[in-house]
Amino acid sequence: MSKIHPTAVIEDGAQIASTAEIGPLCWISSRAKIGENVKLLGRVTIMGDTTIGEGTIVFPGAVLGAGPQDHGNEFQEQAKLIIGKNNIIRENVTMHAGTPKEHFTTTVGDGGMFMINSHVAHDCVVGNNVIMTNNAVIAGHVRLGDGVILGGNSAVHQFCRIGRKAMIGGMSGVARDVIPFGMVTGDRGKLRGLNVIGLKRSGMDEHTVKSITRAFMFIFKGKDGTFEERVEQAKEKFKDNEMVMEQVKFIEEALTSRRNILTAE
């Protein structure tokens, strides 16, 4: 039997794993699915069709699966929120369900940490091992790659993509796509370089990091030709570097995307 506090409200139909723990004053909707070893520590609200993967811990005040803040789509029966395994979701975090614009689904990966008051909006896709620091917020339809870090009080504009292992500094507003491994700082976020420390901490050797840095300087700081021409040249110049090719592919997609690419100054 699940360990459920007597003050918790569990609507009929909710699916709760036998090893889950539901703390005091929680409310769980009839369509919720709570996985093995999930812990809702108390005063947690799980709304609508929300799935929480095994091992995830949710702290008091969090509201997960509420209808999107998208006018006209606030109450959609098909709307879903899917949260992966082993996440830490701290106090007062909000994650909203999707809209018809993105198959009604908001998705959060595994192993993330979502600190106090952070917000995942409707239709977002959040990768694995993402960290959203206190008060970091992402608007609707944002894509966060694996290992992204958002600093405190940062904000990402709707439809932006933040590439794998990019880092957004505290108090930064991001209005364009950010390349994988990028480092963004400033109140109106600007691409300052690469997240070199993050790359090294993830186990990348010095040679690889230097190679990625050379490619960054060539594409973003080069003086010959246009930005688009340098991107095209990089496809040949760095064709044997898998990580640079990941950046090039991302840039090419961003140049035709809704938000375009954040360039260096």
Is 147 in the active site? no
Q: Which of 65, 140, 145, 189 is catalytic?
A: 140
Amino acid at 257: S
Is 122 in the active site? yes
Amino acid at 111: G
CA–CA separation, 81 vs 99, rounded Å?
A: 10
Give Cα separations from 166 to 61, 100, 171 (angstroms): 29, 29, 16
Q: Would you state the structure tokens that stand for residue 79, as one six-digit string?
A: 């709307």
Amino acid at 156: V
Supply the angle between the helices 242-254 and 227-237 in degrees, to the nearest 10.
Answer: 150
Q: Which of 49, 110, 123, 177 is catalytic?
A: 123
Amino acid at 247: Q
Pairing of strands 33-34, 15-16: parallel
Q: Which of 96, 122, 141, 157 is catalytic?
A: 122
Is 70 in the active site? no
3-state secondary structure of 219: helix
Q: Which residues are designated catalytic?
A: 122-123, 140
